Structure 1
Amino acid sequence: MIHIEIQSQYEENFPQRMYIYNYRAFDLYQKPVISLAILGDERVNWRPDSYNYTIAGCEVSLKFPTVKLLDYEENWSELEASSNPFAIIVMAHLKTKATTGKLPQREQWKWKLIRGLYEKEFEREQIIKLFEIIDNMMTLSPELQSSLESKIKQFEEERTMPLMSNMELRGMERGKEIGKEIGKEIGKEIGKEIGKEIGALENARDFVKTVLQARLGEVTLDVEQYLNKVSVLSTLQEIVKLAATANSLAEFKQSLARIQ
């Protein structure tokens, strides 16, 4: 069982909450639980990865992998080149944070990210979902939003096969207003959309890559190709467990060979 916690701001008691959710999930389902923290805050040095206490000779401890979205700023070119939907969401999150109080700059980045969706080899429905995530996350003033939609409309008219119809654009505008009321925290919005929209299989593959990157520092091409071929969700869930417990990439690959 996998527990993913999205945290968009500093919280002193966050490690304790990770521990509480972990043991409650174990108590409820009676299965081993992998807890993973995704941190979307702006504090460079805040990287909680454990919780423990000792009292009267009794010791309780939980150590969990942590992914810091802020770290991806240094790998922006890799994010832009990536075909992983999670990379686009991370870029939108980072630029939303970076343009707080700078809406004209946010409009420029929002337009760049939306335009970039057309260059990715995604299915049409997947692009629309990512479009909606960006639109809801990178909120603009009515004037800037109108300017952005004019750019989108002009861009669509120049294409021989438009992707977004006017009806869809109006629908996304309504969805944006609803999204403002439903989710105020960017990190929570990311978590909701990843789990709800991208799909269980792709989600599980992303979790494996995220855990490997956080714990072992890399995801090699052969591992990524292997993951893309796995089409059984339960198998991917087992692979997530391997990624969270392996001490090296070599050990992880050996474990993969045993489940093939």
Structure 2
Amino acid sequence: MTQQSSENTDYDNPWKTFIELYFREFLAFFFPTIEADVDWSKPVRFLDKELQKIVRDAEIPKRYADKLVEVHRLRGERTLVICHIEVQSQEERDFVARMYSYNYRLRDRYNCPVVSLAILGDDRPNWRPSRFYDELWGCATHFEFPIVKLSDYQSQWTELEAIQNPFAVVAMAHLKTKETHNQPLERKRWRYHLTTMLYDRGYSEQDILELHNFLDWLMNLPEELERQLQAELETFEEARRMKYVSSLERRAKLEEKQAIALNMLRRNLDMELIAEVTGLTIAEIQILQSQQQQD
């Protein structure tokens, strides 16, 4: 993958790709009440081309990593979910108007409920646009939508490190990418930390690969630092593999000793002799004896 400079971070596309891969986890992490009301036994459809047409028809500049997703509620009705990922560093005056425009155009087009969601990835703590209101001569429009402010997670770092949902890692990566703007050495340090952390969170091999790709894409580094990081990660993975092999070898030796001890117990040999031959403690041999009697 061609690396970008840290001054030209691509926030949109990594989010967009990862939401499509882990849409249920996305809702479970950021909007759990919505996730609980979706019927996941029915197919989920991504309708990004339809959303692009709405944006094009409305002549709205494409500045968000938007996803349009068709789901079904547990009670059966079809619902459209629009996920707006707003990652710009400055406030957008017309953001709520755009959210409203997307919503009513999609509702008119598909004639079904449309839910708009916004993830705000900027670093302006007081910018929390969640309400569009317009009124003239007694005719009023009032539109509200749920938002998540990623900067709020900064004070919940310990909790994020303990959460299994992959979007906890995504949130941490986003925060550290913003924080290390124009600080490539610090970004490299955090990317190494987040990448190596993946191996201890119980993820599947595929999940680790996808998160690794997300971190690689989002937390981009200059070419020389990227080479250094990859070398460090290779060393880490090799050491981890050797540790895993060593653990397997220790387990195999223990099982061999236990098999010998069980055979000697069946011959009613003295426990001290068994301990001397196998290297097991008397307590370990007593546990084996108890298990043997239960069998």
Partner of 1:251: none
What are the residue-to-residue correspondences of 1:130-141 with 2, within 5 Å? 130-141=211-222
| Residues 130-164 of structure 1, C-alpha deviations (whole Å, 9 max, x = no match) | 100000000101111011001111112112379xx
Partner of 1:80: 161
Write the letter of the residue equivalent to 2:84.
E
Write the letter of the residue equivalent to 1:5.
H
Q: Secondary structure at the match of 1:46?
A: coil
2:136 to 45, 48, 55: 55
Q: What runs of 5+ residues in structure 1 fail to find an aligned partner?
A: 163-260
> How many residues align structurally?
163
2:233 to 134, 152, 170: 152
The structure with the greater share of residues assigned to helix is: 1
Q: Secondary structure at the match of 2:241?
A: coil
Write the letter of the residue equivalent to 1:6.
I
1:90 to 171, 189, 197: 171
Write the letter of the residue equivalent to 1:125.
Q
* Distance apart, 1:89 and its partner CA: 0.5
Partner of 1:64: 145
CA RMSD in angstroms, aligned pairs only: 1.5
Write the letter of the residue equivalent to 2:83.
I
Write the letter of the residue equivalent to 1:66.
I
Write the letter of the residue equivalent to 1:40.
G
Question: Which segments of structure 1 move beyond 4 Å, counting only runs of 4 or more?
Answer: none
Q: Secondary structure at the match of 1:118?
A: helix
Q: Secondary structure at the match of 1:47?
A: coil
1:2 to 74, 77, 81: 81
Partner of 1:231: none
Q: Secondary structure at the match of 2:85?
A: strand
Inter-partner Cα distance in structure 2 for 1:11 and 1:127 = 35
Partner of 1:194: none
Write the letter of the residue equivalent to 1:33.
V
Q: Secondary structure at the match of 2:101?
A: helix
Q: What runs of 5+ residues in structure 2 fail to find an aligned partner?
A: 1-79, 244-295
Partner of 2:191: 110
Q: Does 1:129 pair with 2:210? A: yes
Write the letter of the residue equivalent to 2:81.
I
1:19 to 69, 77, 100: 100
TM-score by length of 2: 0.54
What are the residue-to-residue correspondences of 1:240-255 with 2, within 5 Å? none
Inter-partner Cα distance in structure 1 for 2:208 and 2:109 = 37
TM-score by length of 1: 0.61
Partner of 1:186: none
Inter-partner Cα distance in structure 1 for 2:120 and 2:108 = 25
What are the residue-to-residue correspondences of 1:149-228 with 2, within 5 Å? 149-160=230-241
| Residues 36-63 of structure 1, C-alpha deviations (whole Å, 9 max, x = no match) | 1110001010000100101122111101
Inter-partner Cα distance in structure 2 for 1:7 and 1:37 = 7
Write the letter of the residue equivalent to 1:155.
F
Inter-partner Cα distance in structure 2 for 1:43 and 1:159 = 40
What are the residue-to-residue correspondences of 1:231-242 with 2, within 5 Å? none
Partner of 2:259: none
| Residues 174-216 of structure 1, C-alpha deviations (whole Å, 9 max, x = no match) | xxxxxxxxxxxxxxxxxxxxxxxxxxxxxxxxxxxxxxxxxxx
Inter-partner Cα distance in structure 1 for 2:147 and 2:136 = 26
Q: Secondary structure at the match of 1:96?
A: helix
| Residues 62-88 of structure 1, C-alpha deviations (whole Å, 9 max, x = no match) | 011110000000000001111011110
Inter-partner Cα distance in structure 1 for 2:217 and 2:154 = 21
* Distance apart, 1:24 and its partner CA: 1.2
Percent of aligned pairs sharing the same letter: 44
